[in-house]
Structure 1
Amino acid sequence: MSPTGTVSSASELAGLDDLTLLRRHQDGDHEAFGEIFRRHRDRMWAVALRTTRDPELASDAVQDAFLNAFRRAGSFRGDAQVTTWLHRITVNACLDRLRRSRPTVELEGHEPVDPRDRHTSVEVRLDVQDALARLPEGQRLALVLVDMHGLSIAEAAAVLEVAEGTVKSRCSRGREAMARLLHLDGQGEGR
């Protein structure tokens, strides 16, 4: 129902911008949020899949994200675009899902010729995951968004709600820490 008490038509909703749709949802028009979902589900699915690298986990995270957005729409301050807000909620839902589950490592692409290569590849991925997990959260999130998901510094800053310089600094410090952690682990020198 729209704020006037009538049911919104799909064509009427399709012509509205995201902020108007969100405001209408806040005013009780639940069809408006459905349009937001239809517009952005594929993009949020892609974000979740890149973040989790697991289709099932990504699906759960997207569901969590849109439920959170539906419930917390009243807290939207309007200082960012709706898509940036959804992106942030989706990334957070993915990180929550990843924290609650033990990540599985899958080899992508082709099968190695030597079975020891598979073991080494899995070990390297586990070492990278372990090193990434040991970083402070701010550095880890910046690296995941910029280096792993290809977001620009400006996009990552908007998602993390920090200045662009902060993202650059966190990425730099995070990369240095990762290099140290991986070098030490690779040399067999204890942790």
Structure 2
Amino acid sequence: MADTGSQPLVLGAHEADLDDATLVVRARDGDVRAFEVLVRRYQGPMYRLALRMLAGRGDAEDVVQEVFLTAWRRLGRLRESAAFVGWLYRMTTNRCLNVIRARRPTADTDLDARASGDAAGSPERSAQVGEQLVALSGALQQLTAEQRACWLLREVHGRSYDEIARATGTTPTAVRGRIARARAHLAEVMAPWK
């Protein structure tokens, strides 16, 4: 803990300028506001990952809440402050995989709730985009949980093969194989939509 006489940093308009490592160090020293900034910064990406892996809003919300609660409790165990984001992705992925292993998700949940708003223009185009997203959601549910996690982390969240390997507890070679199999399956299922 830092000097007992010091007050936690009051974050204001410049909080967006602080890097993750600085915020992690301050949060580790008990600065709740610094941790709140980190939560605001990363709850969206973690929620989108969980939603796409689990195909259920309630489950995704529960996972993200658990991840940030665990992160707060275990922040002192994080060895490198700059590794915070990778740590969140790893915890989120692992929790989602545990939920998937505990029960099989249904394929009837829409991949992206924004589908109706993304298809601006004609009703025909809107219906087509909606059908494509339902087909993609169904195709993602046909992948193994590990393939789905690797594909989403790479294609949707832009994580590197090394980051995905750390998040899923495997090797970069295994990640590449899972992503290749996922891409092949998705290309086959989505071929009619080209």
**Which bin holds the TM-score, normalised by the shorter protein?**
0.5 to 0.7
User: In the alignment, which residue of structure 2 is the partner of 1:144?
Assistant: 148
- Give the percent of matched residue pairs that are identical in Structure 1 and Structure 2: 30
Q: How many angstroms does 1:145 deviate by? A: 3.0
Q: How many angstroms does 1:148 deviate by? A: 4.5
Q: How does 1:68-147 map to 2 (within 5 A)?
A: 68-78=70-80, 81-106=83-108, 108=110, 109-110=130-131, 128=142, 132=144, 140-141=145-146, 143-147=147-151
Does the 8 A contact of 2:24 with 2:34 survive in 1?
Answer: yes
Q: What SS does the corresponding residue of 1:81 show, helix, strand or coil?
A: helix
Does the 8 A contact of 1:88 with 1:160 survive in 2?
Answer: no
Q: TM-score, normalised by structure 2?
A: 0.63
| Structure 2 residue identity aligned to 1:164 | P
Q: How many angstroms does 1:60 deviate by? A: 0.7
Distance in 2 of aligned mates of 1:145 and 1:71:
25
User: In the alignment, which residue of structure 1 is the partner of 2:191?
Assistant: none
| Structure 1 residue identity aligned to 2:142 | V
Q: Which moved more, 1:45-54 or 1:92-101?
A: 92-101
Q: Taking structure 1 as reference, are residues 15 and 73 closer, same or farther at Cα in structure 2, changes over 3 Å only?
A: same
Q: How does 1:7-26 map to 2 (within 5 A)?
A: 7-11=8-12, 13-26=15-28
User: In the alignment, which residue of structure 1 is the partner of 2:116?
Assistant: none
Distance in 2 of aligned mates of 1:166 and 1:95:
16
Q: What SS does the corresponding residue of 1:88 show, helix, strand or coil?
A: helix
Q: Specify which structure has the bigger relative contact order, considering alpha-carbon pairs within 8 angstroms and separated by 6 or more residues.
A: 2
Q: How many angstroms does 1:52 deviate by? A: 1.1
1:158 corresponds, among 157, 163, 166, to 163
User: In the alignment, which residue of structure 1 is the partner of 2:176?
Assistant: 168
Q: How many angstroms does 1:152 deviate by? A: 7.9
Q: How many angstroms does 1:23 deviate by? A: 1.3
1:52 corresponds, among 23, 41, 54, to 54
Q: TM-score, normalised by structure 1?
A: 0.63
Runs of 5+ consecutive residues of structure 2 not aligned to the other structure:
111-129, 186-194
Q: Taking structure 1 as reference, are residues 128 and 47 closer, same or farther at Cα in structure 2, changes over 3 Å only?
A: closer
Q: Taking structure 1 as reference, are residues 104 and 15 closer, same or farther at Cα in structure 2, changes over 3 Å only?
A: same
User: In the alignment, which residue of structure 2 is the partner of 1:113?
Assistant: none
Q: How many angstroms does 1:22 deviate by? A: 0.9
Does the 8 A contact of 1:44 with 1:87 survive in 2?
Answer: yes
Does the 8 A contact of 2:164 with 2:172 survive in 1?
Answer: no
Distance in 2 of aligned mates of 1:169 and 1:35:
36
Q: Taking structure 1 as reference, are residues 128 and 153 closer, same or farther at Cα in structure 2, changes over 3 Å only?
A: same
Distance in 2 of aligned mates of 1:76 and 1:31:
18
Q: What SS does the corresponding residue of 2:160 show, helix, strand or coil?
A: helix
User: In the alignment, which residue of structure 2 is the partner of 1:6?
Assistant: 7
Give the RMSD, CA atoms, in angstroms.
Answer: 3.5
